[in-house]
Amino acid sequence: MPQPNPANTHHAIMVWSDALSLNLPLMDDVHHEFIDLLAVVAQAPDAELVTAWSTLIDHTEAHFAGEDRWMEQTGFSSSNCHSSQHKVILQIMREGLQRGRQGELDVVRQMAFELGMWFAHHAQSMDAALALHLRNVGFDPATGRIAQPQALPMQAIHGCGGDSCSDTQPPARSRTQADAELLAEPA
């Protein structure tokens, strides 16, 4: 059985923790799998590193596509900075794959380390905002059903919904908020 690459022992390996849980089981499962695959990359011997990185990219493409689809289905605009981050990260990962195939394995190892740091912040900010939105509208990611359509925003939410977004647009009102405002207006 291949041994982990000792050259990578200076980087801590990211592990799943309750701090990363977003109380949305399907999203949490996908995130847990991402972290497990990232650990495989971190521990991969040189001969297996590029294959492990490629597997992580495949997973990440499906992972991000799922979140982008959920955003679009629930009015959490998929053209926002959250989805833009997904695109940028995937592009960087693909560039790392090309460099790894050219023998630049240290680049892939450094990318894996930095990807772990990025992911923790992304999950606890942008994904946490998305998970809250999905729970608020009663969205079931497995079926695409929305239990509380009245809670959907009247217009797509702009920005990322996280604390790291610089969007200056006011938050979108839900149908419930708009209905309450109409009822409160004097006749």
| CATH code: domain of residue 116 | 1.20.120.50
So what's the pLDDT on residue 79? 63
pLDDT averaged per 10 residues, the chain (length 187): 45 85 96 98 98 99 97 81 94 98 98 96 95 96 94 77 49 46 44
How far is residue 155 CA from its own chain's centroid? 22
105: Cβ contacts below 8 Å, ≥ 6 apart: 46, 49, 50
Beta-carbon count within 10 A of 99 CB: 17
So what's the pLDDT on residue 176? 47
So what's the pLDDT on residue 14? 87
Adjacent-strand bridge partners of 174: 153
Range of the domain at 161: 6-184
Into how many domains does the chain fold?
1
So what's the pLDDT on residue 153? 85
So what's the pLDDT on residue 160? 56
Q: Is residue 1 part of a domain?
A: no
